[in-house]
Structure 1
Amino acid sequence: MLLLSGCSSPAPSPAPPVVVTLGDSVPAGTACACTPFPDLYANLLSPRAASINLAQPGFETTDVQQQVGADDIRADIRSASVVVVMAGANDMASAFDDHDDYPATARVVESTVTSIVDTVRREHGSPVDVLVLGYWNVVEDGEVGLSTYGPDGLAEAKQATRYCNDALRRAAEHSGATYLDTSVAFADDPTGLLAPDGDHPNAAGHEAIAGMLYDHR
């Protein structure tokens, strides 16, 4: 009689992670000519990971809200193991340029991002990690920002950024997402992490954000 043992099939390998990113020109990689942080983050999670980067330059929160209602985008969301949302800077930058009421704009950012995350969760249909990212500045920063706005203007830009980030943090709390402040990835003087326009991250800046996201996992 033959005794057979240890013939069970090996467990299948887990599916590689899929990172879906929604947002504006920062996650889109504008002005960098480099690999943007969503792709870097996905690769840190696994060399087999997929990055579906849907971020678009110029997008405000309402643009992202409309985007997540599209059929093809909903299919991408359903495939996600992590969803990254980074939007709100362009809303607040418009208020900064027009010297508008920051609290009113922040309320729009908060309600719209809450709606975006709620839509992502509803469409996904099962628990999914959603990361809402804040900003180091919603407009130019570092040496370029100081040259453009002067000390008083740069201080006002920091105020506008605080309103934006507070709104994003509250939106994450309301919707059960995780809020991460990307300013922790930048030095007190972020010049060395910014592209020549002073507004978007350079390659080192994108690497810093990706590393921050990976460290959070």
Structure 2
Amino acid sequence: MIVRRTAAALAVALGLTACATQLRAMPGSPIVVTLGDSVPAGTACSCTPFPDLYARMLSPRAQSVNLAQPGFTTADVQDQISHGGIRDSLRAASVVLVMAGANDMAEAIDDGDDYVSAAQRVGAAMSSIVNAVRADHGSPVKILVLGYWNVVKDGDVGLAEYGADGLKAAKQATSYDNDALRQAAGQSGATFLTTSALFTGDPTGLLAADGDHPNAAGHQAIAHMLYGADPEP
């Protein structure tokens, strides 16, 4: 799930998401604001991503302000939410979805870093993100933190690229990541929701051709999981 981004690309992305926020965050209905990486952004799917599907399921139907960006780490999300336009949308949010941390762990895998240390950084950053959202919002707001089934490729593609041992190591890194996200959510008053159960066994049928991101069926599964866990805006 890692796509390395330059500082210039990040600045452009932040500018675009700020514009989208100002255009879409209309009053009169609940608002679901999403922060995170390429999974909630819908990369490689050519389909409606799960945050938008979830927003449509809510009653009354919610607006979706999807600020997720491919390649974002938890540090990128921390930087993103410091910008004025983004903060305005977060203040108006009825529900905030956050799914970030896979790229942090993927970088650790690529660089041969210690998974425990990388996961600790993820946890600290996620706690900071949730606390910042709460501080900006000024009133109680639902914050749902989503975990991962795998921080890198999975299914047939992952097995072909990494082999059985590599896939096992990836699952271990994912476990560290999810534990950190779960702990951060609990400590900061957010709700942690796992996606692991949706992609258990062979997840190939729920993954795009790159083996790294959900396909349309995968996004539908995540949206239904979200709605089942939190059906009210």
The normalised TM-score by structure 2 is 0.86
Q: How much has 1:47 moved relative to structure 2?
A: 6.2
Q: Distance in 1 between matches of 2:105 and 2:69?
A: 17
For residues 35-46 of structure 1, what are the structure 2 equivalents within 5 Å?
A: 35-46=48-59
Q: Whose Rg is larger?
A: 1
1:48-87 deviation per Cα after TM superposition (whole angstroms, max 9, x unaligned) = 3100000000000000001111000000001100000000
Q: Runs of 4+ in structure 1 displaced over 6 angstroms?
A: none
Q: Distance in 2 between matches of 1:214 and 1:17?
A: 14
1:214 is aligned to: 227
Q: Which residues of structure 1 form unaligned runs of 5+?
A: 1-14
Is 1:150 the counterpart of 2:149 in the alignment? no
Q: Distance in 2 between matches of 1:48 and 1:42?
A: 6
2:135 is aligned to: 122
1:84 to 72, 97, 100: 97
Describe the SS at the equivalent of 2:65: strand
Describe the SS at the equivalent of 1:179: strand
Length, aligned pairs only: 204
Q: Distance in 1 between matches of 2:141 and 2:99?
A: 16
**Matched-pair contact (CA < 8 Å) for 2:143–2:191:** yes
2:85 to 69, 72, 76: 72
Q: How much has 1:93 moved relative to structure 2?
A: 0.4
Q: How much has 1:117 moved relative to structure 2?
A: 0.3
Q: How much has 1:34 moved relative to structure 2?
A: 0.2
1:72-116 deviation per Cα after TM superposition (whole angstroms, max 9, x unaligned) = 000000110000000000000011122210011001000000000
Is 1:171 the counterpart of 2:184 in the alignment? yes
The normalised TM-score by structure 1 is 0.92
Q: How much has 1:25 moved relative to structure 2?
A: 0.2
CA RMSD of aligned residues (A): 1.2
**Matched-pair contact (CA < 8 Å) for 2:43–2:213:** yes
Q: Which residues of structure 2 form unaligned runs of 5+?
A: 1-27
**Matched-pair contact (CA < 8 Å) for 2:143–2:190:** yes
